[in-house]
Copies of this chain bind each other. A is one copy, B any other.
Amino acid sequence: MRHPATLREDGTAIFRAALEAVDPAAAIRRHLKREGDRLRVGDRSYDLARLRRVLVVGAGKAGAPMAAAVEEVLGDRITTGVVAVKVGHGGPTRVVRVREAAHPVPDAAGLAAATEVLDLVRGATADDLVIALISGGGSALLPLPVPGITLEEKQQVTKQLLASGATIQEVNAVRKHISAVKGGQLARAAAPARVLTLVLSDIIGDPLDAIASGPTAPDRTTFSQALAILERYGIRESVPPAVRGYLEAGAAGRVPETPKPGEPLFGRVQHHIVANNSQALETAAAAATDRGYRTLILASGIHGEAREVAKVLAALLLEVRATGHPIEPPCCLVAGGETTVIVRGQGKGGRNQEMALAAALHLDGTEGVLFFSAGTDGTDGPTDAAGAFSDGQTVSRGRAVGLEAARHLAENDAYPFFRALSDLIVTGPTRTNVMDVHLLLAGPREPRPA
């Protein structure tokens, strides 16, 4: 056990450790174990000697390093494969083809990649294993409307739903029912092959039916519900006729439902989370312990408005300083999730920078604390930073260079504030995404001189 060095150095090192744990390739290598002819994943194993073919498919920003890591484990046992990744997120692979497509608005390249993926798994037999690599962004990267509906029509209904105030769950319920891939339909297309889905989770609670719209997961929503959602928002008559017609056909039983929980096909599907926010937090906590901090993992499902969430987290840090609750300093409280920013101003920032700025206002004047918040993908809002850190001197340091923290917060303008203070967290793109990590550090009771 080391004695805490400076809080900033420690925060940075702890975050780096968390990032390494959720690196897509490292995560695959940790969870996918080959022992001769046996491939072990979680509590299941696959006899490679009895498999005819191993097909690798997938979609998501982390697709390329995930595919490369699967190749590293399985070597020449991979027959062929194709994964769709975001433009600029390609990477070297040996067998698996990497297709770059647009994100977040799908394009023709994504459509072509989705067709390629679907064609590949449709040819699979009971002797084949399909390994599906799923990560954040996979939904937009694998767009394939059912025949008769164009990509434009699908996008049109998505836009109408969002403009009407539909929740993301409602949007997805509709989209799954006009897709040939989402909502378990990739798993159905792959049947009777076995399917092993490796998931890098970017959603709170790791909901398999929501990450990348759950291409191999059972879907609980129905055609009737999808129609009811259009009805609820008064857009049933204004969506593209092809969309309405298809949903009505589905509700009338003339088109098969998305595969539901309990259907036999899922007996041949294994889902395995290779990395998620919880893993990042566990690793961060271990790294903090290693550096001499008492640690407490608060929650991996932190969400809500960034500046309000920051008030609660700052209150915890102030309590540590004041009373030693919930844990005695020196300590590191660890939390994760994904907050939201309600845009009020014209400034530049991201949810993590906004949290750090809001926390600064509440920590103002407190000695020996650090608030550290960053996105594991290395990108916080439309900035080149992953996040920012703040402490009890942030407000006065800003004032000393003519920047008023409260005003920058009011303008959603955290980026220039932290840039001026050199308090941005910059990692560059990490090629992973398990949402955000928040570290609340408190030094020993008697702060040592800086």
Q: Max chain B CB contacts within 10 Å: which of A278, A300, A304, A312? A: A312
Distance in angstroms from A307 CB to nearest chain B CB is 8
Q: How many residues on the A side are at the interface (Cβ–Cβ under 8 A)?
A: 26
- B303, A305: Cβ atoms under 8 Å? no
Query: Does A228 count as interface, using CB distance less than 8 angstroms?
Result: no
Q: Mark A417-444, 1 if CB is under 8 A from B, else 0.
A: 0000000000000000000000000000
- Residue of B300, B303, B305, B316 touching A319 (CB-CB under 8 A): B300
Question: A299 touches which one: B296, B305, B308, B315 (CB < 8 A)?
Answer: B315
Contact (Cβ within 8 A) A316 B304: no
Contact with B along A173-205 (1 / 0, CB 8 A): 000000000000000000000000000000001
B297 adjacent to A315 (CB under 8 Å): no
B-contact bits for A323-339, CB 8 A (1 contact / 0 none): 10110000000000100
Beyond A278-B323, A312-B312, A323-B278, whether A318 also contacts B299 by CB under 8 A is yes
- Quick check: is A166 within 8 A (CB to CB) of the other chain? no
The answer to whether B325 and A297 have CB atoms under 8 Å apart is yes
Contact B311 A298 (CB under 8 A): no
Partner of A326, one of B305, B309, B323, B326: B326
A305 contacts B305, C-beta separation under 8 Å: yes
Bound: A205/B318 CA distance, A: 9
Q: Which residues of the other chain, B, contact A309 by a CB distance below 8 angstroms?
A: 304, 308, 311-312
Q: Does A301 have its Cβ within 8 Å of any Cβ on chain B? A: yes
Chain B residues within an 8 Å CB radius of A322 = 205
A74 within 8 A of B: no
A304 B297 Cβ-Cβ under 8 A: no
**Minimum C-beta distance from A327 to chain B (A):** 8
A315 and B315 CA atoms in complex are apart in Å by 16
Shortest CB–CB separation between residue A297 and chain B, in angstroms? 4
**When A308-B308, A326-B326 are in contact, do A316 and B298 touch as well, CB less than 8 Å?**
yes
In the complex, chain B residues whose CB is within 8 Å of the CB of A318: 205, 299, 301
Taken together as a complex, chains A and B put the C-alpha atoms of A337 and B323 apart, in Å, by 15
Closest CB of chain B to A169's CB: distance in Å?
A: 12
Give the chain B neighbours of A305 by CB distance below 8 A. 305, 308
In angstroms, Cα B423 to Cα A435, docked, is: 35
Minimal beta-carbon separation of A104 from chain B (angstroms): 24
In Å, the complex CA distance between A256 and B108 comes to 77
A299:B316 contact, CB within 8 angstroms: yes
Question: Is there contact, CB below 8 Å, between B304 and A319?
Answer: no
Within 8 Å CB of A326, what residues of B?
A: 296-299, 326
A:100-125 near B, CB below 8 Å: none
Please, what's the 1-or-0 string for A15-41, where 1 marks a CB less than 8 Å from any CB in chain B? Answer: 000000000000000000000000000
- CA–CA, A278 and B325, complex, Å: 10
**What are 21 sample pairs from A and B whose C-beta atoms fall under 8 A apart?**
A205-B318, A205-B322, A278-B323, A296-B325, A296-B326, A297-B319, A297-B326, A298-B316, A298-B319, A299-B312, A299-B315, A299-B318, A299-B325, A300-B323, A302-B315, A303-B311, A304-B308, A304-B309, A304-B312, A315-B337, A326-B326
Known: A297-B325, A298-B326, A301-B315. 15 other contacts (CB 8 A): A205-B318, A278-B323, A297-B326, A299-B312, A299-B316, A299-B318, A299-B319, A299-B325, A300-B323, A301-B319, A304-B311, A305-B305, A309-B312, A312-B312, A326-B326
In order of increasing CB-CB distance, the 3 nearest A-B pairs are A308-B308, A304-B311, A299-B319
